[in-house]
Amino acid sequence: MPISVSLFLIILPLLQAPIFIFSSPVRDPDQVAQQVDESIMNATMARSLGFLSCGTGNPIDDCWRCDPHWEKNRRRLADCAIGFGKHAIGGRDGKIYLVTDPSDHDPVDPKPGTLRHAAIQSEPLWIVFAHNMVIKLKQELLMSSYKTIDGRGANVHIAGGPCITIQSVSNIIIHGINMHGCKRGGNDYVRDSPSHYGWRTISDGDAVLISGSSHIWVDHCSLLNCTNGLVDAVQGSTAITISSNHMTHHNKVMLLGHSDSNEQDKNMQVTIAFNHFGEGLVQGMPRHGYFHVVNNDYTHWEMYAIGGSANPTINSEGNRFLAPDNSNNKEGLRQRDLSSYAKASSLSARPSSLVSELTGGAGALICKKGSRC
Task: Please report the pLDDT score of residue 299 as a whole number.
Answer: 83
pLDDT at residue 227 is higher than 70: yes
Q: Quick check: helix, strand or coil at residue 60?
A: helix
Structure confidence at residue 158 (pLDDT): 99
pLDDT at 145 over 70: yes
The mean pLDDT value for 274-287 works out to: 77
Residue 256: per-residue pLDDT: 84
In this prediction, residues 329-343 reach a mean pLDDT of 43
Given a cut of 50, is residue 363 above it in pLDDT? yes
Using the predicted structure, report yes or no on whether residue 47 has a pLDDT greater than 70: no
Confidence of residue 257 (pLDDT cuts 50, 70, 90): confident
Higher pLDDT, 104 or 354: 104
Q: How far apart are CA 325 and CA 323, in angstroms?
A: 7
Indicate whether 284 pLDDT > 90. Answer: no
Q: What is the Cα–Cα distance from 359 to 369, expressed in whole angstroms? A: 23
- pLDDT at position 2 is 40
**H-state helical runs in the chain:** 29-48, 59-64, 115-119, 339-342, 355-358
Per-residue pLDDT band for 352 (boundaries 50, 70, 90) equals: low
Whether the predicted pLDDT of 286 surpasses 70: no
* Helix or strand (DSSP H, E) at 238: strand 238-243
**For 199-208, what is each residue's pLDDT tens digit?**
999 999 999 9
- Please, are residues 125 and 95 in contact by the beta-carbon 8 Å criterion? yes
For residues 120-124, give the mean pLDDT.
99
* Least confident segment among 3-7, 8-12, 30-34, 257-261: 8-12
Question: Following DSSP, what letter does each residue of 98-151 receive, concatenated?
Answer: EE-B-----SSSPPTTBHHHHHT-SS-EEEEESS-EEE--SS-EEPPSSEEEE-
Between the CA of residue 223 and those of 59, 180, 215, 276, what are the distances in Å? Answer: 22, 6, 21, 11
What does the pLDDT read at residue 251? 72
Residue 244: pLDDT above 70? yes
Give the count of beta carbons closer than 10 Å to the beta carbon of residue 195: 8
Give the SS3 label for residue 353: helix
Residues of the chain with pLDDT > 70: what percent? 75
For 17-31, 163-177, 262-276, which range has the lowest pLDDT when averaged over its residues?
A: 17-31
More confident residue, 76 or 336: 76
Which domains are present in the chain? 29-358 (2.160.20.10)
What rounded mean pLDDT belongs to the chain? 83
250 pLDDT more than 70: no
Can you give the pLDDT at residue 41?
A: 72
Q: Report the amino acid identity of residue 149.
A: I
The residue-averaged pLDDT of 257-284 equals 78
Checking if the pLDDT of 126 tops 60, the result is yes
Question: Is pLDDT at 102 greater than 80 in this prediction?
Answer: yes
Q: What is the pLDDT of residues 296-320, one digit of tens each?
A: 998 876 665 565 555 678 888 888 8
Return the percentage of the chain with pLDDT > 90, whole number: 57
Residue 54 has pLDDT above 80, yes or no: no
Look at 250 and 185; give whichever has higher pLDDT. 185
